[in-house]
Structure 1
Amino acid sequence: MAMTENTRGAMFMALAMASFTINDALVKSVTPFMNTGQIMFVRGVMTTVLIIALAKYFGALRPIKTLFRPLVLLRTVSEITATVLFLTALGQVEFASISSIMQSLPLVVTLGAALFLGEPVGWRRWVAIGIGFAGVLIIIRPGSEGFTTGALLAIASVFVTACRDLVTRRMYADVPSLTISMFTAIANTAFGALLIVPMGGWQPMEWSVIGHLAVASILVLSGYQTVIFAMRSGEISFVAPFRYTSLLWALMIGILVFQEKPDIWTLIGAAIVIASGIYTFYRERRRYLMKSAKDS
């Protein structure tokens, strides 16, 4: 039996989330030993070598001018910005908490699609988006001093990542996924190099740290490719909810690896965010089916 586009997209999204979450855990494990710029550079060099080799093998190499096509450039800038924000937050926020905050991404994608792409969003989905953001507030629970820096960076990362995903949906059909991944990796590496000195300078690395980043680079490559495949396959309303599989990985890793103990409010907030997201996609799916029935 042939695999449908929706099933293929869901499979790619689930694989992407596993890759990115395990990569995040490996990166978090080395944040005490080096700054964000050095992490981006070292991991980026390894990832870039792998991607260029694959792009050459599959004939996906494109001239550098491709990078300056508007959508490719915008996606690359969004990816760099999101990476800097997320990696900086990763060193300041508990692993399960930052992963829970990231679960609001599908809601922000829906918000962005309504505001910037003109996609219709009914009042029920607007309410669901508002409830989802309330769930985020429950997760971060700003105290008397307000939001923590790490929480603000994580939230900013969500919005910039949503921009990246919306651009990916509009990407030129003649630009291969490997080409997009290659330019993203090169740009991340170069920008990371520029940040090393301002963020504290180069720190010596033990072999265990290098090993963690080497595995992380492979997982980043897997994540880059599979999330692009996912966003280009099937219907976004069907595929996007599979992002929530990352929270299962994050909770397990947070408890078993980082000895974290997510409190009840974090779990409640995460549940609210996920429920809001699933309802949003349910409403989108229903609207699509009603429109299709009307057009036929």
Structure 2
Amino acid sequence: MRRTSDLSGITAMLAATAVFVVGDSFMKLVTEDLPPFEVLFLRGIAASLACAVLVVLRGEWAVVSGALDFRALLRAAGETLSTLCYVVALARMPIADVIAILQTAPLILILGAALLLREKIGPTRVALALVGFAGALMVAQPGANGVAPAALLAFGAALFIAARDLIGRGVPTRIPVTVVIFATMLMVMIVAGAMTLGLETWVSPTARHLVFLGLAGPFLALGHVGLLLAYRLGRTATIAPFFSSFALWGVMSGLMIWGQLPNVLAFTGIALIVTSGIAIVLLDQRKGREVELSDAL
């Protein structure tokens, strides 16, 4: 029974990461014609509506006021800053490279937990995290003038994701996950709207643009649902390594839609990022089993 549940959780994780990349691909296609913050604002409308429908369908509208909880809003702020960085990087870099750099977020989270929360992480996990960061630099491929601004934005997105997850630990469990996501989508939409009004020249979207963004919003909401479902169906230690499939889908999207593949150095970097992330999860899983065995004895 547990094996069946784990398999279902793995399937949900693979589907969730694929859905995220599909939504991001729609966004990248639209950013070829429209300013990035305008794209984010329009997608935010669709995503907020999709999340609102999800909250209603789950019967959680009665507790939607939980979205105003300070910690939920602080988490939403971290997600908003990450998304602002991400959409600009996505408009200027190959999708596979952006997603690969974004995979350093869990590594940053590990180091952040050690430095800020005084969690013991051990030298092996530190070494694996540093290997992942080395891989990210191979993807970014800094030149004589340093790391390209778009790559720096991708790193910024990863940093804010890690901050979001650190803050997310303090969000009260009485607030449903869907309500927290709804608050996040609303904040992203509002801030992106302000950014496009203040910094960009509005470009009238075509029907094609609206269709793509109308699909990207629900795909984003479905991706979050898939993540939630994955961890509820299976064991976290078993499911977590499959989040690295995000990078695989990013490479496939870049090849199928734009005919782009990372160069050899970037491919090596992506492999290092994914391998270090999986190794950290497997290390945690092994230590968990050792603790369980010692407790049983």
Q: TM-score, normalised by structure 1?
A: 0.91
Query: Which residue in 2 is equivalent to 1:287?
Result: 287
DSSP 3-state at the match of 1:257: helix
Equivalent residue of 1:91, what SS? helix
Sort the Cα spacing of 1:273 and 1:262 in 2 relative to 1 into closer, same or farther, 3 A.
Answer: same
SS of 1:198's equivalent in the other structure is helix
3-state DSSP of counterpart to 1:197: helix
Match of 1:157 in 2: 157
Q: Distance in 2 between matches of 1:80 and 1:232?
A: 25
> Structure 2: how far apart are the matches of 1:242 and 1:199?
38
Structure 2 equivalent of residue 80 of structure 1 = 80
Alpha-carbon distance, 1:168 to partner: 3.7
Counterpart of 1:242 in structure 2: which amino acid?
F
C-alpha distance in 1 between matches for 2:281 and 2:224: 23
Q: Establish whether residue 224 from structure 1 lines up as the match of residue 224 from structure 2.
A: yes
Deviations along 1:3-29, one digit per CA (max 9) or x if unpaired, are: 676555434332221111111111011
Q: What is the 5 A alignment of 1:85-96?
A: 85-96=85-96
Gaps of 5+ in 2: none
1:168 and 1:231 in contact (8 A); partners too: no
Instruction: Report SS of the residue matched to 2:20.
Output: helix
Cα 1:112–1:14 shift into 2, 3 Å? farther
What's the offset of the Cα at 1:253? 1.2
Query: Which residue of the partner structure matches residue 267 of structure 2?
Result: 267
RMSD (CA atoms): 2.1
2-side partners of 1:191 and 1:91: how far apart? 18
- Of 11-20 and 173-182, deviating more is 11-20
Distance change in 2, residues 1:238/1:114 (3 Å)? farther
Higher share in helix: 2
User: Which piece of structure 1 moves more, 96-105 or 221-230?
Assistant: 221-230
Residue deviations 1:42-64 (CA, integer Å, cap 9, x gap): 11111222221231232211566
Which AA in structure 2 matches 1:239?
I
- In structure 1, the partner of 2:54 is 54
Distance in 2 of aligned mates of 1:99 and 1:19: 13
Residues 113-137 of structure 1 show CA distances to partners (whole Å, capped at 9, x for unaligned) of: 3333443211111111111111111
Change (3 A) 1:247 1:197: same
Superposed, 1:1-296 pairs within 5 Å as 1=1, 6-7=6-7, 9-62=9-62, 65-230=65-230, 235-296=235-296
Sort the Cα spacing of 1:171 and 1:231 in 2 relative to 1 into closer, same or farther, 3 A: farther
- Give, in whole Å, the separation in 2 of the partners of 1:8 and 1:34: 39
Q: Give the CA deviation at 1:79.
A: 1.1
| 1:177/1:225 contact within 8 Å kept | no
More moved, 32-41 vs 89-98: 32-41
Which runs of structure 1 show a deviation greater than 6 angstroms over 4 or more consecutive aligned residues?
Answer: none
Determine helix, strand or coil for the equivalent of 1:147. Answer: coil
Identify the range of structure 1 (158-167 vs 274-283) with the bigger mean alpha-carbon deviation: 158-167
* 8 Å Cα contact 2:64/2:179 also seen in 1: no
Question: What amino acid is aligned across from residue 141 of structure 2 in structure 1?
Answer: R
Query: Which segments of 5 or more consecutive residues in structure 1 lack a partner in the other structure?
Result: none
